[in-house]
Each structure stands twice: as C-alpha cells, then as structure tokens.
Structure 1
Amino acid sequence: MDGMGDASHLDPATQALLQLDDGGRIACIDQDLWIGYGLAQEAHQRLERLLRSQRRSRPDNLLIIGASNNGKTAIAKRFLARHCLSENPLAEIATIPVALILAPNGPQISPLLRAILHAIGRDPLPRIRISDLREAAYQGVQDVAMRLLLIDDLHNVRGAGVDNMLVELRNLGSATGVSLGCFATKEIAYVLRRDEQMANRFELMTLPCRWRRESAHIW
C-alpha cells in the first residue's frame, strides 16, 4: 500500500490515515483520544441517569473521585460533547440540557455563578450585586432547561468559607432542579462530609489510580 506494506488488517478509517503526509499523521497523533474503558462508560451511564431523572425537587448528584491526570476531565468533556444540541435559529431561547464549568479557585460564589452564566451564553455585567448575579444564574439555568451541570475540579473550592459554597451548590439544585455531576480528587469527599445534606445528595464513584486490564472502546 504505497510502500507501507499490507494494511488489510486495519479498519478503513485507519487505512485512510496511512495516505496522509507526515504533517497530517502528526496532527492525528496530537489529537485527544477517548478510550472508553469500563469505568469511564459506567460514569457516562450514571450521568445519563441523572440527566434523564425526573426528580427535580431534591435532585440526585454524582461525585466522581480520582487522582489527578487520570481522565476525569476527559469523561466530562466527552459526555458534554455527546449531548450538545444543534442551535435552532427560530427558537427564542436555546436549550442546553448539559453544561460544563470549572470550579473556581477557592470557595468563591461570585465566580461560580459567573461560570454558570458564561456556560449558557449570558455573561453578566462586571459589577453586579451577588444577589442579582445569583438570580440571573438560577433563572438562566431554568430558561435553558438545564438538567445536568458538570463541575470539573471541584476540589478547587476548598478553603476558608467552603461551607458557604456547599450551601450555594445545595440551593442551586433545590431552586432550579438541576443535578450536579462533579469531578474531583479524593480530598473533596472529606469536605462534603461536613455538610450532611450535601453528603446525602451525592452518589460517590471512584476511578482507579491505574487502569485494570479490561475491554475498552476507543471512540
């Protein structure tokens, strides 16, 4: 196959890559690669259940715990990509069932609310009272019919005042009916235990530090 040897054992998509020049092949290698190993697929299944849940008055949440750099963000981004809806130019308000934000550094409520608004395309004014910011964020979540808010690196919110942040997250769910899918290192689990109501609302899932030998799907 153009000096590359017999590639008949490869699938058509991979065979096509052999026809690329060096620059094209390097670009393919540099792309993010999703490896759907067993627990990653299970995480998506659990998130899917939250998304489809009809429990809105006290929504269930999921906390996915794992070491740094073991694929938590990839799981979050892959799930988000699978649930992005095409924009309807005739719709007055966009529908955004799933959104992904990065937790603020420290238990800062204002950046959290701003991140939510940014995720739904509603950047607020630079100077706005936190009460107005909260009202705008909560109303925005309801306007776009959000069902699941993914929060990456939730361990970032640790620090003095974290209890107020936990109350804010709890109130967000109670007021809007949105479920939370959070990704963090194990330290955040100890923080959540300080708030019994929050601890009771989160299902815990732990990712292994090392992958076990199991079937995996590369998507």
Structure 2
Amino acid sequence: MSDHLLDHVRPYLDRDPEDRIAYIRAPRWIGHHVAKDAHRRLTELLSRPQSLRTQGLMLLGPYANGKTMIAERFAVEHLRTAPKQRVWIVQTREGAGLGHFYASILQGLRAPGAEMRDIGRKAEQLDHLLASLKPRVLIFDEFHNALRGRDRDIEAVFAFLRRIGRQYDVSPVLIGEVAVYDLVNATSEMASRFDLVAVPRWQYDEDYFMLLDSLEAALPLTRSSDLSDERLARRIFALSEGLIGEIVTIVTKVAIHAIRSGTERITKAGIDELRHVPLSQRRTSILRERLL
C-alpha cells in the first residue's frame, strides 16, 4: 500500500492529518543533478588553495528555480561540520552604488552600522570584519539588485569584488538573473574571474519525470499518484512553466488538498481545482482584474 513512498516517509501515514500536512509544507531539499553540481563547485571554492586572484562562481537562472535553496543548503551543511564559519550569505539590497552594497554585506555579516550614511565608515568597518572573520566564500543572493545603477556604480561594485579576492582571499558567488551574466561578461577582466553554473528551466524529459517521482515518494499520501504519468506530468509542467519552485508549490498544495478531501492521491481534477495561474500570466490574470 505504501511502496511508492521512501522508507523514512512511510511512518508519517500513521500520524494525524495535520502532522502530515505540516511535514508536506516543510521545506525540502531536492538533490537534482544541477543542484549536486552546484554543491560540488561551491565545495571546490571552499577547499581551494590560497590565492591573490580568487576565482568566483555565478549561479544564474530564472526566478523561482531553486538557486537560493541550493546556496542555503550548502551554507547550512558547512556550518554543521566546520569549526569556524567560512561561508556567509548576503541578501543584496535594492539600490545602486557602494553604499547600498556595503550595507547588504554588513547586514549579511550580522554587523551593526548597515544604516550608516558615511560610505567611508562603512568601508572601514567592512575591512575590519573581513580581516577578523576571514570568510572564504561570500554568496550574494539576488546580486542583480546591485547592477541597476550607472556604469560607474557597477564598476565600483566589481572593483570591490576584485579587491576582496586579492586582499582577503574571498571567493564571491553571484546568484541572480541572466543580467548578471551579461554585465560580468561585458569585460574580459571580470569574465575571467567567474565560472558559471546555469540553473535553467526544466525541460519535459526524463529528468523531469524523475523529479516528479522523487516528489511523490516524499509526500505521505496513502495512495500512489503516478505523477510522471503523461496527463499529470503535462499539466504540472504547463502550470509551472518548468520552474522547480512552482512545481513544488503545485504538488504541495494539491497533496494537502488530497489529505483534507480524503482522496489520498494527487489527481488532474485536484490540480485543476487549485486554479493555479502560471507566473507569466499573473500580470494579466482574471484574479488581477477582480482587484480593479
């Protein structure tokens, strides 16, 4: 009856519905091939020899496609095993110029002074922190936020990334949209410093079917859903537009509905009842029109 589930998931079938729903809602790691490759590349940055010209990494792809989760998983695993924190994640703020960028890093390093107006004082504090904390990898999430200013602002940000490599032996990791790729590769100087790990949309292929099978095996539903069956797989793919964040959201919501309704399996009818609007259509969706 529960052969479709992973061994550690089966015991949840004996729990009450709310416990099962809480388990389904919890964030889960999906170790697909791109995620595993990204982890390998990040680990190489962490274990590399000391260098005056550090190599960085770009983790790029569309929104809602799992880039941040890959980085956070890597950072958490590092914290669990390392005697000292050497990986830090910076949430890059909206806004052009070094002031906003420095503030992002200070906040990411959990330091006071992110709201200081004086850029010089921010730079001094940041230098002091980098010298004392000795990070090996700085991950800049939504790095495209720092690249929306004037050319001189963007160049100042890139100059900072070059300097922390030379002065503090830090490898920067840039997470963001394709605009990051374009601006990094606008000059040979920056292009030579960053390798790329692409996190593209999923294609309707065997890898996608395997992803659906792994999701189904992790959801404590009594009955098998056969998510990789043509009808279900096509419907989920169309609604998600190949974005893993959307795929997981759709499957999670309909699994919860399956528990509450007593059907105990994901069906096409259950998916249709969600009335899920694909990301590309939300700007002009019927739901939006109802707000006017």
- Shorter-chain TM-score tier: 0.7 to 0.9
With the length of structure 2 as denominator, give the TM-score of the two structures.
Answer: 0.64
Which of 162, 165, 176 is residue 157 of structure 2 equivalent to?
165
TM-score by length of 1: 0.84
How far the C-alpha of 1:194 sits from its partner, in A, is 2.9
1:50 equivalent among 45, 55, 60 = 45
Match of 2:92 among 96, 100, 103: 103
Q: How many angstroms apart in 2 are the aligned matches of 1:191 and 1:32?
A: 33
Find the residue that maps to 1:100 and give its secondary structure: strand
Q: Report the structure, 1 or 2, having the larger helix content.
A: 2
CA shift, 1:125, in A, is 6.6
Q: Distance in 2 between matches of 1:204 and 1:86?
A: 26
Assess if the C-alpha contact under 8 Å between 2:106 and 2:114 holds in 1.
no
Work out which of the residue numbers 122, 128, 142 in structure 2 matches 1:139: 128
Moved more, 44-53 or 201-210: 201-210
For residues 27 and 38 of structure 2, what CA distance do their matches in structure 1 show? 19
Cα displacement (A) at 1:105: 1.4
Larger relative contact order (Cα-Cα within 8 Å, sequence gap ≥ 6)? 1
Equivalent residue runs for 1:38-77 within 5 Å = 38-77=33-72
Larger radius of gyration: 2
Mark the runs of 5 or more structure 2 residues left unpaired by the alignment. 219-292
More strand by share: 1
1:152-175 CA distance string (max 9 Å, x none): 111122222222221222222222
Is the counterpart of residue 213 in structure 1 residue 206 in structure 2? yes
Q: Cα gap change, 1:171/1:191 in structure 2, threshold over 3 Å: closer, same or farther? A: same
CA distance in 2, matches of 1:202, 1:118: 24
Deviation at 1:107, TM superposition (A): 2.9
Report if the CA contact (8 A) 1:114-1:123 is conserved: no
Matched-pair contact (CA < 8 Å) for 2:103–2:114? no
CA distance in 1, matches of 2:10, 2:156: 55
Q: Quote how far apart the aligned CAs of 1:206 are.
A: 1.4
Are 2:88 and 2:108, in contact at CA under 8 Å, matched by a contact in 1? yes
Letter in 2 for 1:114: A
Q: Helix, strand or coil: the match of 1:35?
A: coil
**In 1, distance between residues paired with 2:62 and 2:178?**
7
Task: Name the SS for the 1:180 alignment partner.
Answer: strand
Determine if contact 2:102/2:122 at 8 Å carries over to the other structure: yes
Residue number in structure 2 paired with 1:130: 119
**Percent of paired sites with the same residue:** 25
Q: Equivalent of 1:178, from 170, 175, 195? A: 170
- In structure 2, the CA distance between the partners of 1:116 and 1:85, relative to structure 1 (3 Å rule), is farther
For residues 165 and 28 of structure 1, do their structure 2 counterparts lie closer, same or farther at Cα, with a shift above 3 Å needed?
Answer: same
RMSD: 2.5
Question: Gaps (5+ residues) in structure 1?
Answer: 1-5, 89-94
